[in-house]
Structure 1
Amino acid sequence: MGRGKYTAQEALETLPEPTPTCPVARVLGPRGQHLHEIAVLQSLTTPEINQRLNPTSSAWFTTLAQLPPKYRSVVWVKRGSFVLANLSEQFTDKVGGEIAQVLMAEQVKHLKQTGQWPDQYEAMWEQMMKGQAGATEVEVQSEESDDDPLMAGNPNRQYLGDDETTDDEDSDEE
Structure 2
Amino acid sequence: MPPPRRKVLATAEETLFPPDELLPGQEIARIIKATGNNIYSVQFPSKDTALVELPAKFRSTIWMKRGSFVVVDTSALEGRDNKLRGGIVNIVRDEKAWRKTPFWPKQFVKQPVLVSDDEDESNVGKMPSSDESDA
**Structure 1 length normalisation: TM-score?**
0.54
Which position in structure 1 is the counterpart of 2:104?
Answer: 117
Q: TM-score, normalised by structure 2?
A: 0.68
Match of 1:9 among 10, 13, 32: 13
For the structure 1 residues 89 and 109, does the alpha-carbon distance in structure 2 shift closer, same or farther, using more than 3 Å as the test? same
Equivalent in the alignment of 1:126: 111
The count of corresponding residues between Structure 1 and Structure 2 is 106
Higher helix share: 1
Partner-residue secondary structure (3-state), 2:70? strand
Aligned-residue offset at 1:92:
4.2
Q: Per-residue deviation at 1:19?
A: 3.8
Distance 1:92 1:18 in 2: 26
User: After TM superposition, what 4+ stretches of structure 1 lie above 6 angstroms from structure 2?
Assistant: none
- Given that 2:42 and 2:51 are in contact with CA atoms closer than 8 Å, whether structure 1 keeps it comes out as yes
Query: In the alignment, which of 85, 95, 107 is matched to residue 84 of structure 2?
Result: 95
Counterpart of 1:100, as a letter, is V
| Separation in structure 1 between the aligned mates of residue 60 and residue 15 of structure 2, nearest angstrom | 11
Provide structure 1 residue ranges, at least 5 long, that are not aligned to the other structure: 42-58, 131-174
- 2:101 and 2:10 map into 1 onto residues whose CA distance is 26
Higher strand share: 2
Task: Report sequence identity in percent.
Answer: 31
- Where 2:22 maps in the other structure, the secondary structure is coil
1-structure distance, mates of 2:101, 2:40: 27
* Residues 11-64 of structure 1: CA deviation (Å, up to 9, x unaligned): 22x3233344111101110000000001113xxxxxxxxxxxxxxxxx422111
Who wins on radius of gyration, i.e. which is larger? 1
The root-mean-square deviation of aligned C-alpha atoms, in Å, is 2.0
Q: Which residue of 2 aligns with 1:75?
A: 62
Q: 1:83 corresponds to which letter in structure 2?
A: V
Q: Distance in 1 between matches of 2:6 and 2:88?
A: 22
The residue aligned with 2:29 is 25
> Which fold has the larger relative contact order, with Cα–Cα distance below 8 Å and residues 6 or more apart in sequence?
2
Mapped partners of 1:37, 1:83: distance in 2 = 11
- 2-side partners of 1:18 and 1:34: how far apart? 23
